[in-house]
Structure 1
Amino acid sequence: MILALVLFIVGLLLSAFFSGTETGFYRMTRLRLVIDGLQGDRASKAMLWLANRPSLFIATALVGNNLANYVTSLAVVMGTQRLIPNGGTITDLLSPIVIAPVIFILGELLPKNLFYDAPNRLLRRFTPGLVLCTILFAPATLLLWALSQLLKMLSKTTPQELRLRLARREISQLVEEGHEAGILRPVQRTLAQEMLSVAAQPIATFAIAGSRNMRLTTDMSKSDALKLAQRHSRTLLPVEDVKQSRKLVGYIRTADLFINNEKGLPAALPMLELQADETYLSAMHKFSEAEDALGHVVDDDGNTVGFVTGRELRMALFKS
């Protein structure tokens, strides 16, 4: 009976340890780990090393949880057989049901809530145990790692994508904490959340289809150009050169049509070339350097997908 009690306590502690650290892993602030690591904190360095290898941590937590469940189940069976030797099938069925709430509260719910509220602080304290388990479970975790690599090849999901999701979640948590602390106003929080939601989207999502009826030609008059700009409500219009088989040669600002006193169209300005699969954040960075330019979105073959301006990208952050 003493052995059953010891196994039950060990299994319960293991379940609480791995359930809590798993929650803390997804709740921790990576930036704080980096800062503490730069200051020489070994626990933060070790945790950061695991954070950069999420598949290894997940495999370790999976093995640990299974071990905890096995030890706890074995302890319950041993204790039941010791207390009620001739209990039969009904006793074997009822004993796990009776003990399940205790395991759920102490081994799952309580540690998850604790690590949810203070992930960084608790992870730093339990990092040595986590590193030790990572070393002890290495044979099993290597097998799971090989399986995950096989599944990754089949699903074509890279670790970088997982890291980006974790990083995006961490930033969202920082924004929420800043709002709760009164550092960020509601509009600032909304703006940050919108940026996170659109940052990884391809620029082709925001481009306006480049139809022929919204392009200027080099032989067009000013009045016709202004009518075209008014019809499509565009301040920047692409220009085609009729002498070069209607090749796109740049863009013209509607304001320049009023300022320029020449009879013909003003000289076309160079457009900003953007790949269709380029991210929103990358395109915004290019627009910040090119100032008020017209973005020409093309596919891998160089064909026109559409056009977009920096203002249209900025306005996408205020849709909600």
Structure 2
Amino acid sequence: MNDIPIVALVIILVILIFLSAFFSSSETGMMSLNRYRLRHLVKSKHRGATRASKLLERPERLIGVILIGNNFVNTLLASLSAVIATQIWGDAGIAIATTILTIVIIIFGEVTPKTYAALHPERIAFPAAVILTPLLTLLSPFVWAVNQITSGIMRLFRLQANTGSGHHLSTEELRTIVHEAGALMPRRNQNMLLSILDLERVSVNDIMIPANEIEGIDLDDDLEAILEQIARSRYTRLPLYQGEINNVVGVLHMRSVAKLIKSDEPVTKELITEQAFEPYFIPENTPLHTQLLNFQKENKRLGLVVDEYGDIIGAITLEDILEEIVGELSTKEDVEDQDIVHQDDGSIIIDGTSNIRDINKALHWELPTEGPKTINGLIVETLEAIPQANTCVQIGDYRFETLQIKDNLIKSVRAYSIEE
């Protein structure tokens, strides 16, 4: 090798540095590929992604061929630099070559290529797969031998070579991915996906209509009052009950009543009751994602929520669950009956029966949702008593002033966000 011109040795040295950078960047690029995007590109028949995916099916073989190539190149680099340094500086050249080569390899063979590969893995991994694929075939005997020795050492120290697939996402991990999608996904779509993931955290009693707000038909009322109520109702389905909501006898669909009224037969309470179908009861702690499937399975749109004693404590519709996913499906009439009204002074008038989760969504607040479900319940729990007069109370970063109290119920409050 001493007969080879120094210029030729330097050129070979530079080529070896590039090869070292190639193997270093290939390793980082391959390991940094987003596995889910890679699967998408493979399904789209992207050639580079297909090659990279095949290499990553056996990561131990891929790492083996990269490390064999990288270590061979670095060893050759050390020997070649020692020869060049000896020719230039004599015996002292070995120490000089070691120092210079260490700096060069760290900068140009390791840190720079690996940093770039970590930032742009696809730009490195896909072209590198073209070279690594035949190289793996060529060096497969050496790779197999290295992997066998490695597996033997791991078994000797009782280390598990296979720890299972690490590519399955938990709900929290998927939620983080959706959050970090940024501009790649419209904000509305992000909110919908996050709402779907949150369905398992929320139960029917978190979003149900309380029993005292259920609009139903009391069969003890006069027939004229019942028909007038049916004519004025905005709902498609109404519970039929006798005296109180716990004595429910069925659920009436307005379409059935319309057919009954159009017929020549006189309308009676008995005929109305005959048109009703069996009520559908739901345990109060049923998760929303389960109830969504139950509605689909049972072909139901309205359910009556019951507690552990069988008493009806509320009602929930399929629309209520869909609103948890896509947001409010409000109409002009709904807008006129808002439970949350902003005032000119920055305060907010809130109906006492408003659901805390709805308030948090509408105002981007963080009121506690673990206990009571309404503002009335939250204030009463905080005060540990039903206020007899207008009272101010602070809950977390929010201040509430009761405005109207009637029948042991806080009807409305004025609310402020202290931070705002």
TM-score of the pair, normalised by structure 2: 0.40
Residue 311 of structure 2: which of 259, 262, 266 is its match?
259
Identity %: 21
Following TM superposition, by how much is the alpha carbon of 1:74 offset from its aligned partner in structure 2, in angstroms? 1.6
- Asked if 1:7 is matched to 2:9, the reply is no
Partner of 1:132: 134
In the alignment, which residue of structure 2 is the partner of 1:36? Answer: 41
Distance 1:152 1:52, change over 3 A: farther
Could you tell me which amino acid in structure 2 is paired with residue 138 of structure 1? S
Does structure 1 conserve the Cα–Cα contact (< 8 Å) formed by 2:82 and 2:93?
Answer: no
Counterpart mapping for 1:233-252 below 5 A:
none
**3-state DSSP of counterpart to 2:115:** helix
Residue 119 of structure 1: which of 114, 121, 124 is its match? 121
Number of residue pairs the alignment of both structures matches: 198
Paired with 1:53 and 1:158, the residues of 2 have a C-alpha distance of 13
Asked if the contact 1:178–1:184 (Cα under 8 Å) also holds between the matched residues in 2, the reply is: no
Determine the C-alpha separation between the residues in 1 that align with 2:29 and 2:73: 18
**Pairing 1:95–2:147 present:** no
User: Is contact 2:17-2:108 (8 Å) kept?
Assistant: yes
**Which secondary structure does the structure 1 equivalent of 2:160 belong to?**
coil
Which of 57, 60, 63 lines up with 1:58 in the alignment? 63
Tell me how far 1:7 sits from its aligned partner: 2.8
Question: Which of 148, 152, 160 does residue 157 from structure 1 map onto?
Answer: 160
Say which structure is richer in helix.
1
Secondary structure of the equivalent of 2:307?
helix
Query: CA separation of 1:180/1:173 partners in 2, compared to 1, >3 Å: closer, same or farther?
Result: farther
The residue type equivalent to 1:10 in the other structure is I
Equivalent runs, 1:170-189 vs 2, <5 Å? 174=177, 177-179=180-182
Give the Cα–Cα distance (whole angstroms) in 2 for the partners of residues 13 and 167 of structure 1: 37
Structure-2 residue corresponding to 1:232: none
Q: Which runs of 5 or more residues in structure 1 are unaligned?
A: 196-234, 237-253, 261-310, 312-320
Counterpart of 1:107 in structure 2 is 109
- CA, structure 1 residues 183+39, in 2 after alignment: closer, same or farther (shift >3 Å)? closer
1:150 is aligned with what amino acid? G
- Alignment partners' CA distance in 2, 1:14 and 1:142: 22
Which residue identity does 1:255 align to in structure 2?
D
CA contact (8 A) 1:27 1:119 kept: yes
Change (3 A) 1:156 1:93: closer
Cα pair distance change 1:174/1:111, threshold 3 Å: farther
Give the match's secondary structure for 1:164.
coil
- Residue type matched to 1:157 in 2? Q
Matched residue type, 1:178: A
Task: Show the counterpart of 1:68.
Answer: 73
Deviations 1:254-285 (A, max 9, x none): 9323639xxxxxxxxxxxxxxxxxxxxxxxxx
Counterpart position of 1:27: 32
Report how far residue 28 of structure 1 moved.
Answer: 0.5
Q: State whether residues 51 and 126 of structure 2, in contact with CA within 8 Å, keep that contact through their aligned partners in structure 1.
A: no
Taking the aligned partners of 1:51 and 1:29, their CA distance within structure 2 comes to 12
- Backbone CA RMSD of aligned residues: 3.8
Instruction: Label 1:98 to 1:158 Cα distance change in 2 as closer, same or farther (>3 A).
Output: closer
Equivalent position SS for 1:157: coil
Shift of 1:120: 1.4
Q: Aligned partners of 2:13, 2:154: CA distance in 1, in Å?
A: 37
Q: Matches of 1:120 and 1:23 in 2, distance apart?
A: 11
Rounded Cα–Cα distance in structure 1 between residues aligned with 2:56 and 2:74 = 25
Counterpart CA distance in 2 for 1:44 and 1:158 is 26
> In structure 2, what is the Cα distance between the partners aligned to 1:122 and 1:173?
26
Cα deviation, residue 108, structure 1? 0.9
Cα gap change, 1:180 to 1:146, in 2 (>3 Å): farther
SS of the counterpart of 1:61? helix
Alignment CA distance shift 1:178-1:83 (3 Å): same
Q: Does 1:47 align with 2:52?
A: yes
1:18 partner SS = helix
Answer with 53-62 or 96-105: which moved more: 96-105
